[in-house]
Amino acid sequence: MGKGNRGAVGDDMSLSDQADVLQAKAADLKSSLDASRRETNEQIKARVASAKVKADAARETVHGKGDQAADRVHAQWQSFKADNSAKMRQLQEQIERKRDERDVKAAEKDAERAEDNAADALDYAAWAVDQAELAVLDAAAARAWADARAAASAG
């Protein structure tokens, strides 16, 4: 593989390692969802706080590496982050207000909106994985072509 194997976690991460990290994160997401169904409200709040810290750290890492991405994908990612952050802030404010009021109907609607936002985020993540797959395959094809050209010119 060439020098283009840079990952969000470290500069010397291979594409395969990046895919493994992404797969592990997806498995952790599923485990977290399953576990949250058996937890108390306070446990879920603690899990949300922890997830926010991780997401903020990841966002900073991605933002720092974002300048290396194509302009189109970078613009889409920035727009998604801004929209998602605004929606999440608004949703958290609404949830807190409604929780204080103990309004069951409103809380149900807030939960449905939160679930819809989560579904949107998962749809975007699936799209991002599809784009990553295309980028990985493009990189592999480019590397194979370059290696074949180098071998042909050497022989």
Convert the pLDDT of each residue in 134-147 to its tens digit: 888 888 899 999 99
The more confident residue out of 116 and 2 is: 116
Mean pLDDT for the stretch of residues 57-71: 64
H-only helix segments in 10-103: 15-36, 41-66, 71-101
Instruction: Determine the longest span between alpha carbons in the chain, in angstroms.
Output: 78
State percent of the chain over pLDDT 90. Answer: 7
pLDDT score recorded for residue 4: 44
Residue type, 76: Q
Evaluate whether 15 touches 23 at the Cβ level (below 8 Å): no
What is the per-residue pLDDT across 4-59, written as a single tens digit (0 to 9) for each? 444 444 456 787 888 888 898 888 888 888 888 898 888 888 888 888 888 887 77
